[in-house]
Structure 1
Amino acid sequence: MRNEQPRPKRRGAALGVSARAWLFVTPVLLALTVVIGYPVGRAVWMSFQKDAGLDKSTGMFVEGGSAGFGNYSHWLLQQCTNSLGETVSCPPGNTGSQFWAAVGVTLLFTVVTVALETTIGLGMAVIMGKTFKGRALLRAAVLIPWAIPTAVTARLWEFMFQYNGVVNRVLGTHILWTADAWPARFAVIIADVWKTTPFMALLILAGLQVIPEDVYEAARVDGASAWQRFVNITLPLLKPALLVAILFRTMDALRLYDLPAIMTRNLAATRTVSMLVTESKSLPNSASALSVITFLLIFTVAFFLVKVLGANAVRTQEEQREAH
């Protein structure tokens, strides 16, 4: 009996499968285009238009027109126009002069909060991953700060950080936590870490649950200490989950708005880029340019994290497969 070679798939059948795949994907793509594509495209188009208002040189009302990169230079180069229509540096009270300060505050909050939340969340995940009596109750209790609405959390910590609040009474201090620059920043960081660390702990705990227990058993048989097992087994196998947790939290922190807006009101020392966007709502086209800049900032940071941390996570997994 002769061996029959498998017949090659017909091109028409392959095209039929591809057509059916596109048939299922097309509704999702259309929905994403309407929900995401149109607002983004509209914001980009508005960012190149002038805002309607009075022409300072003629005193006449104008409806706008093409602004070129004027809205972007207003934020990035801190340029404004005087009564004669000339380009000058934005005065200190203008929102355009506050952009780079807001970027610095946003990056400060992002770096500090993500670092603290990752470290504390990793410790919490390791504890919750162990088997002990009352573990389910502990996991439920950890979710409480994350489940509370952010606005409620902000008001709670605002009351605690008042001059006659709980924090000053417990510490025996007289600090204006929500009025002075650095105390207000510390207050926002503490509130954000308390609020979001459970989210990080849950994501990291999900990564810990997929690590095989026999790997730890083999390490114990070989005489590895708890610290050696954590450094040489837990952290390398946990890198993909850490990447997802850090990426999600970083993108969320770059959009921080409600905590500083409620806790410290209009304090310049805690003004983030998102807060600056809302303060510029009277100039929608200029605010659209700032929104596009914010989007590009978040995209750049996310791309960097994926390229750096993602490549390390993939390399670690490949090394583990080669070792086995």
Structure 2
Amino acid sequence: MEAFRGRALVRVSILIPWAVPTAISGLLWRWIFNSNGIANTLIGHQILWTTEGFHAKVAVIIAEVWKMAPFIGLLVLAGLQVISKEVYEAARIDGATPLRQFWHITLPLVKPALLVAVLFRCLDALRMFDLPYILIGAQKNSVETLSMLAQNEASNVRFGPAAAYSVILFLYVFLIALGFVRLLGADVVADSASQGKRRAGRKRHRLAGPRRAEATS
């Protein structure tokens, strides 16, 4: 990707939705999805976005994507910038089409960044609390998360169910993070092991040299 003037300013501008606190973002989107808000004005229908039902889910999804998409985009951009231009030039010389370049070069090389982005999104979705709590409200079954359930039980002095929900949430996050770490770290572990074996072999070779010299003398 070629550099252009003002690229840093564009990146900062893109990151503004992610930098906005989630509570402020929830209040902003609650105003947008109000019965007399901008969303209903644009579509020309009166929809109760912040009540129970499918519309509440859509409102939370839109607000969450608006907030987190810039951060994920920058992660993928960082992965794309690591790819060397010489790789694409060699592929073009070999006659590879743009589709084959994307499938066999771009996608495999950007895969670690994509997996990290998906991991962050999965963990954010599992531990989500403040955005649906502020945007839609508490005790709404359509958008209620485990964090909201745990908080509701704890606020009503039902600490047993609250602890159970918290443990379940921890297990979900732990298992998903473990799966992604294993998926991401497989190549890294293999590379580290092979490098360790090479270093050990070179060390044995250096140690064997003086011993052979002493044996011949």
Q: Of Structure 1 and Structure 2, which has the larger fraction of its residues in helix?
A: 2
Other-structure match for 2:39: 167
CA distance in 2 between counterparts of 1:194 and 1:242 reads: 18
Aligned to 2:167: 292
Identity %: 50
TM-score by length of 1: 0.54
Structure 1 residue 263 corresponds to structure 2 residue 135: yes
Q: What is the deviation of 1:235?
A: 0.6
What residue in structure 2 maps to residue 220 of structure 1? Answer: 92
Paired with 2:2 and 2:44, the residues of 1 have a C-alpha distance of 38
Deviations 1:68-114 (A, max 9, x none): xxxxxxxxxxxxxxxxxxxxxxxxxxxxxxxxxxxxxxxxxxxxxxx
1:148 and 1:132, CA in 2 relative to 1: closer, same or farther beyond 3 A? same
Off by >6 Å, runs of 4+ in structure 1 = none
Q: 2:125 aligns with which of 235, 238, 253?
A: 253
Higher RCO by CA contacts (8 Å cutoff, separation 6 or greater)? 1
**Contact 2:52/2:141 (8 A) holds in 1:** no
Amino acid at match of 2:173: I
Question: Where does structure 1 lack aligned partners over 5 or more consecutive residues?
Answer: 1-128, 319-324
Structure 2 residue 178 is matched with structure 1 residue 306: no
2:13 pairs with 1:141: yes
Q: Name the structure with the higher strand share.
A: 1
Corresponding residue number in structure 2 for 1:276: 149
Distance in structure 1 (CA, Å) of the matches to 2:17 and 2:132: 17
1:193 pairs with 2:58: no
In 1, distance between residues paired with 2:2 and 2:102? 13
For 1:118, the equivalent position in structure 2 comes to: none
Which whole-Å CA distance do the structure 2 matches of 1:150 and 1:237 have between them? 32
Query: By how many angstroms is 1:270 displaced?
Result: 0.8
Closer/same/farther in 2, CA of residues 141 and 298 from structure 1, 3 Å limit: same
* Deviation sequence 1:140-189 (CA, Å, 0-9, x none): 21111011111011110110011110011011111111114100000000
Matches within 5 A, 1:1-324: 129-266=1-138, 267-281=140-154, 282-307=157-182, 309-310=183-184, 314=187
State the SS of the aligned residue for 1:216.
Answer: helix
SS of the aligned residue for 1:274 comes to helix
1:222: how far off? 2.6
The aligned amino acid for 2:126 is L
Q: What root-mean-square deviation, in Å, do the aligned CA atoms of Structure 1 and Structure 2 show?
A: 2.1
TM-aligned CA distance change 1:228 to 1:259, over 3 Å: same
Structure 1 counterpart of 2:184, which letter? G
Aligned length: 187
SS of match in other structure, 1:177: coil
- Aligned residue for 2:137, secondary structure, equals coil
Amino acid in structure 1 at the alignment position of 2:14: V
Distance 2:110 2:178 in 1: 20
Q: Distance in 2 between matches of 1:196 and 1:159?
A: 19
The answer to whether the 8 A contact 2:127-2:146 is kept is: yes
Write the distance in 1 (CA, Å) between the matches of 2:181 and 2:173.
12
TM-score normalised by the chain length of structure 2: 0.79
Please give the secondary structure, in 2, of the residue aligned with 1:173.
coil
Distance 1:171 1:130 in 2: 39
How far is the alpha carbon of 1:130 from its aligned partner? Answer: 4.4
